[in-house]
């Protein structure tokens, strides 16, 4: 399946996660540990090590090969990873949908990276993956992510109580969706 990669914003490229990224990804998650902690599940210590990331990447690429997930990273010219965006739970048939998640390095926020990546991934989901819809969820206080989604054409469709286990407890989330087209699915 063609992956819609290439330059995202000045000096930052969107590309598919690769088996060779374990070192760079572990370094990125270690550097952004405090920045991401309020918005993510509690990570085991191994998550911040090259070996932990090697195993995680292997699993993500396995699921990518099965067509249930697409993992991209944001890469700077020097090879540093400064964010990621992932379509998970890709479902075909009458649902034809996937879930979207993303993060941006603490020092690279506010430059339009997330917005550009969401636009690119929505295009991929519609034109290449043939999905009908993408959904996303944010904590109620994550106004940054809500702004990214609203600017990217997502509608808020509700609020789900105790929806995700984030930073150590079950948290309510706002749910968002963007409908990409209304063609019939391949059944
Ligand atoms: C949320 C996050 C992905 C935004 O990334 P980003 O690259 O800074 O976003 P962008 O630069 O594309 O911003 C898009 C819009 O959102 C706005 N925005 C971004 N962060 C914001 C914040 N914290 N508060 C208010 N607005 C914010 C920007 O100003 C911009 O709007 P504008 O063009 O009208 O000014 C980033 O802050 C992040 O990684 N946060 C921690 C992890 C996270 O929350 N992930 C999402 C989980 S649902």
Task: Please say whether the beta carbons of 162 and 171 come within 8 A.
Answer: yes
Closest residue to atom 15 of ligand 1, CA basis: 148
Query: pLDDT over 90 for what percent of the chain?
Result: 93
Query: pLDDT over 70 for what percent of the chain?
Result: 98
Q: Decide whether any atom of ligand 1 lies within 6 Å of the 151 Cβ.
A: yes
The pLDDT value recorded for residue 174 is 98
Decide if pLDDT at 1 tops 60. Answer: no
The pLDDT value recorded for residue 33 is 98
User: What's the gap in Å between 39 CA and the centre of ligand 1?
Assistant: 13
pLDDT band at residue 7 under the 50/70/90 scheme: confident
Once rounded to an integer, what is the mean pLDDT over residues 105-132?
A: 96
The pLDDT value recorded for residue 9 is 84
Q: What is the 3-state secondary structure (H, E, C) of the chain?
A: CCCCCEEEECCEEEEECCHHHHHHHHHHHHHCHHHHHHHCCCCCHHHHCHHHHHHHHHHHHHHHHCCCCEEEEEEECCCCEEEEEEEEEEECCCCCEEEEEEEECHHHCCCCHHHHHHHHHHHHHHHHCCCCEEEEEEECCCHHHHHHHHHCCCEEEEEEEEEEEECCEEEEEEEEEEECCCCCCCC
**In sequence order, what are the residues at sequence separation of 6 or more whose Cβ sits closer than 8 angstroms to the Cβ of residue 88?**
68, 69, 98, 99, 100, 101
Closest residue to atom 48 of ligand 1, CA basis: 138
Once rounded to an integer, what is the mean pLDDT over residues 112-122?
A: 97
Average per-residue pLDDT for the chain:
96
The pLDDT value recorded for residue 78 is 95
pLDDT band at residue 170 under the 50/70/90 scheme: very high
Once rounded to an integer, what is the mean pLDDT over residues 113-121?
A: 97
Task: Calculate the CA 68 to chain-centre distance.
Answer: 13
User: What's the gap in Å between 36 CA and the centre of ligand 1?
Assistant: 13
What is the Cα–Cα distance from 70 to 134, expressed in whole angstroms?
A: 13
The pLDDT value recorded for residue 54 is 98
Q: Which neighbouring-strand residues pair with 150?
A: none
What is the Cα–Cα distance from 23 to 12, expressed in whole angstroms?
A: 18
């Amino acid at each position: 399946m063609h992956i819609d990669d290439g330059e995202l914003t000045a000096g930052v490229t969107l590309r598919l996660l690769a088996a060779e990224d374990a070192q760079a990804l572990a370094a990125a998650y270690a550097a952004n540990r405090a920045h991401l902690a309020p918005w993510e599940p509690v990570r085991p210590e191994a998550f911040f090590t090259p070996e932990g990331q090697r195993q995680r990447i292997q699993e993500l690429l396995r699921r990518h090969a099965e067509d249930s997930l697409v993992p991209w990273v944001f890469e700077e010219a020097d090879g540093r990873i400064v964010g990621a965006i992932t379509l998970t739970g890709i479902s075909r048939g009458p649902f034809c949908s996937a879930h979207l998640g993303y993060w941006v390095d603490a020092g690279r926020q506010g430059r339009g990276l997330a917005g550009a990546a969401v636009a690119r991934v929505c295009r991929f989901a519609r034109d290449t993956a043939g999905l009908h819809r993408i959904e996303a969820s944010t904590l109620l206080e994550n106004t940054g992510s809500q702004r990214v989604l609203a600017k990217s054409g997502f509608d808020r469709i509700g609020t789900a109580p105790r929806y995700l286990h984030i930073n150590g407890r079950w948290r309510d989330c706002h749910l968002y969706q963007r409908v990409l087209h209304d063609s019939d699915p391949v059944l």
